[in-house]
Amino acid sequence: MPAMNKPATPLIQATDAARAIARTRLVAVDRALAELRRGDGVLVRGASGGATAALAAETATPETLARFAKLASPAPALAVTVQRARAIGVAWSGGDATVVLELPAGAPAETIRALADPTLGPPPRPLPVARRAGEEAASAVELARLAGLLPAALVAPADGVDSDALEVPAAAVWQYRDLSAAGLANVGEALVPLDAGVTARVVAFRPADGALEHLAIVIGEPAPGKPVLARLHSQCFTGDLLGSLRCDCGDQLRGAIKEIAASGAGVLIYLAQEGRGIGLVNKLRAYGLQDRGFDTIDANEQLGFAGDERDYREAAEILRQLGFRRVRLMTNNPRKLHALAAHGIEVTERVPHAFPANDHNQRYLWTKATRSGHIL
């Protein structure tokens, strides 16, 4: 699970030299994410100086494996999260560390993808032997996660291999979320009339890595010195736009806007972290697993994710930039209260924000209450 409670690095007040270093690290990771999404390998350089070649497991094909073989030693392994290792039945008692699975020599692309992706059917047998991942392999898995791919990476030692592949420091991978959030910039805003009978000021904030923008929907004229009525809402394409009945996201979004409008003033932070932070494609994969009997959390863990991968560093930074350091938070999720507090935003009150269940989301809401600790 990502380290959500680590305070964001205060780069907006940093020196020019610190900002330049931060930008260099962000660019390195951002380029690595693009390479992985294209099915190309990258080199991850650890603190000790060693290098590991990495390829996102779900992009494994005969062609990508052939290119990867030019970057590293001929004995690759598969690095996965402990959630995925346990999901496929690998014996592991090493705690929450990233796991490396030993692969047979010449393992084909189909074997690699099947070990990483539960939607492809049962994993191949016999199950591989597991060992604890080193810094570079764990960083490779985190890169795949940040790229919106399944958190699994083919890894192999690359020391002594002459390669012009893109190289990224392992330390930069783990600093990426902090650096991206701290570099958020207000890039545009407009007044938008809403069905709730109010006009909202919609403000767009772009991360320093140029990734998807987050939005602040400001209604009325909330006073910066007083606790502002606020809602943190992670985007949900299926619920917010399609009106899906599998979740309560659409009800929560529209209900929050109406409640803020009725109160006279407040702000809704719309975060670009679909599917509890696993991305839209992986959320659709999770839906397929739910149709096979898994609940929300188990489906995520089958894919190799934590039950909830969302991060609230960006939300705290947006609130600060808008001038709000104290909030009355509309939520049923205690985790959001702790996350905002950890990032310097005082939550003076939790405002309940629940809606009636329907025939399609009863189990979803039950899982929220019984396994995720939501107050429903």
Closest by CA to 154, choosing from 218, 229, 59, is: 59
DSSP states along 211-273: -PPEEEEEES---TTSPEEEEEEE--IIIIIT--SSSSHHHHHHHHHHHHHHHS-EEEEEES-
Where in the sequence numbering do the catalytic residues fall? 308, 310
Q: Is the dihedral of CA 22, 28, 32, 34 positive or negative?
A: positive
d(CA 317, CA 324): 10
Q: What is the CA radius of gyration of the chain?
A: 22
C-alpha closest to that of 77 among 97, 57, 95, 93 = 57
